[in-house]
Amino acid sequence: MIGIEAKSTNFTVMTQKRPKLIRGLRSLPGGNSQYLETMRAILTWIDEAEKPTRENCLAWIKKTYSASRGVLTDYLQLLVRLDMVARTRTTELRLTEFGQEVLHADGEVRAELVAEQML
């Protein structure tokens, strides 16, 4: 094509420029194929629990997905870092406005919301 110059890209440079948030993300229980469903399940539990504290949530995740304490903490922190879950002053958890939006979105829309938030 006239006037368009193709430039080569360097994958290493691209990965170094990714936001810190993406580089620090762990996967959720269930693996990559179940990522959004696991996220939805955790958000649903927080939304519907009578007293959704950090400890209660971690206990539910452990019972449901059988993971170590460190991994469980990372899962919950992921949702906080993605601005889907917030901690209140009384140690309770609540869904943010964005968390509510993700929870109630349909599959493709949910995937787009999460992808945009990660970028």
Residue 7 parent element (H or E):
none
Residue 14 lies in a domain: no
Cβ count within 10 A of residue 57: 21
Cβ(65)–Cβ(38) below 8 Å: yes
Q: What are the pLDDT tens digits along the chain (119 aa)?
A: 455 444 444 333 333 444 555 555 555 666 666 778 888 999 999 999 998 999 999 899 889 888 778 888 888 888 998 999 998 887 899 999 999 999 999 989 998 998 888 87
What is the domain count for the chain?
A: 1
**HSE of 24, CA atoms in CB hemisphere, 13 A:** 10
Domain ranges, residue 68 = 19-118
pLDDT in the model for residue 110: 92
Residue 13 lies in a domain: no
11 φ, ψ (degrees, to nearest 5): -60, -40
Q: CATH number, domain at 73?
A: 1.10.10.10
pTM for the structure as a whole = 0.74
Residue 80 lies in a domain: yes
Residue 26 lies in a domain: yes
Compute the distance between CA of residue 100 and CA of residue 96 in angstroms, rounded to an integer: 6
Residue 4 lies in a domain: no
